């Protein structure tokens, strides 16, 4: 794909964090399918997790069905299916979502529907509870709420989920970056003298605030939201964060507090 055609996520996008976190936990390779709808017009159909927002699920489902033939041995072992909050609500009740999940559950597959709870109506306990009920109606055996930016905390749980056949829904709860009108955190910074230039941070996160300018990665302080996703993936630990001493709970509280209006 040409670079100009690639979707651009916002700095601090919780959808991207969810995608990166799940993909790292489940791993790549044969028998693993990642599909779904990031549901963001800013990201569009070229998001790694996604198709477009309006009508995206309808366009995706035929591909999803093809990738999971149902009876032959080549079908994927683990299917990760991203669903946006409002889209789950809109689609539940018709066969758009429940049919493939029910089918897979009966076939003994491992399916991880990842519900992206980041729109305005789903930032409180009531909204999350509603999504959890819909996920159960759509065939999920269990529902777990996670913070997509708590990458280490999420990954152990997701790895365990990906071992047990059945439909295990995850609600990734974190406000859309565009709703956070007050910056929740100070920007991160790369220690340019210690950066080894591996570009792992750039390639994994795809964050527009992060670029590689030889010989090191560079963070645009004006664009960076301080989400620290890139810091979690730097193996040499040279991305410095002013929030490094905060707990995941404190960071989560700051993100929700930054949503105004």
Footprint of ligand SF4 (CB under 6 A): 11-12, 187-188, 190, 195-201, 205, 207, 209-210, 216-217, 219, 224-230, 234, 236, 238-239
Question: Least CB distance from residue 191 to ligand SF4, whole Å?
Answer: 8
Question: Least CB distance from residue 212 to ligand SF4, whole Å?
Answer: 6
Q: Which is nearer to ligand SF4, 36 or 187 (CB)?
A: 187
90 Cβ partners below 8 Å, 6+ apart?
Answer: none
Q: Which is nearer to ligand SF4, 80 or 201 (CB)?
A: 201
Question: Least CB distance from residue 74 to ligand SF4, whole Å?
Answer: 35
What single-letter DSSP state applies at residue 259?
B
Question: Least CB distance from residue 134 to ligand SF4, whole Å?
Answer: 30
Question: Least CB distance from residue 202 to ligand SF4, whole Å?
Answer: 6
Q: Which is nearer to ligand SF4, 13 or 123 (CB)?
A: 13
- Strand, helix or coil at 147? coil
Question: Least CB distance from residue 111 to ligand SF4, whole Å?
Answer: 28
Q: How far apart, in whole angstroms, are the C-alpha atoms of residue 171 and residue 129?
A: 10
Q: Which is nearer to ligand SF4, 161 or 190 (CB)?
A: 190
Q: Which is nearer to ligand SF4, 53 or 229 (CB)?
A: 229
Q: How far apart, in whole angstroms, are the C-alpha atoms of residue 153 and residue 256?
A: 19
How many helices, marked H, and strands, marked E, lie in the chain? 9, 9
Question: Least CB distance from residue 100 to ligand SF4, whole Å?
Answer: 32
Q: Which is nearer to ligand SF4, 109 or 150 (CB)?
A: 150
Q: Which is nearer to ligand SF4, 106 or 211 (CB)?
A: 211
Q: How far apart, in whole angstroms, are the C-alpha atoms of residue 168 and residue 125?
A: 20
Q: Which of 6, 84, 5 is nearest to 39 (CA)?
A: 84
Query: Any alpha helices (H) in the chain, and if so which ranges?
Result: 14-26, 56-67, 85-91, 95-107, 125-137, 151-161, 200-205, 229-233, 248-257
Structure tokens at 235: 């193996």
Return the exposure string of 140-169: e unless at least 16 CB atoms fall within 10 Å of the residue's CB, then b: beebbbbbbbbbeebbeebeebbeeebbbb
């Amino acid at each position: 794909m040409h670079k100009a055609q690639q979707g651009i996520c916002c700095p601090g996008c919780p959808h991207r964090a969810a995608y990166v976190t799940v993909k790292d936990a489940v791993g790549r390779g044969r028998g693993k399918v990642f599909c779904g709808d990031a549901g963001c017009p800013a990201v569009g159909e070229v998001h790694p997790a996604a198709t477009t927002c309006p009508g995206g699920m309808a366009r995706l489902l035929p591909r999803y069905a093809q990738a999971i033939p149902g009876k032959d041995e080549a079908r994927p072992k683990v299917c990760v299916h991203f669903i946006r909050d409002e889209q789950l609500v809109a689609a539940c009740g018709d066969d758009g979502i429940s049919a493939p999940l029910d089918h897979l559950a009966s076939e003994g597959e491992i399916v991880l529907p990842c519900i992206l709870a980041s729109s305005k109506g789903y930032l409180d306990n009531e909204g999350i509870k509603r999504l959890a009920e819909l996920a159960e109606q759509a065939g999920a055996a269990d529902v777990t709420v996670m913070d997509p930016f708590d990458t280490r905390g999420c990954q152990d749980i997701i790895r365990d989920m990906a071992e047990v056949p059945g439909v295990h829904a995850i609600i990734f709860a974190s406000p859309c970056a565009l709703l956070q009108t007050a910056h929740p955190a100070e920007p991160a910074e790369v220690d340019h003298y210690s950066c080894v230039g591996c570009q792992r941070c750039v390639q994994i996160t795809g964050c527009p605030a992060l670029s590689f300018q030889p010989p090191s990665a560079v963070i645009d302080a004006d664009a960076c939201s301080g989400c620290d996703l890139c810091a979690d993936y730097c193996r040499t630990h040279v991305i410095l964060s002013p929030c490094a001493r905060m707990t995941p709970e404190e960071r989560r509280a700051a993100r929700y507090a930054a949503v105004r209006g």
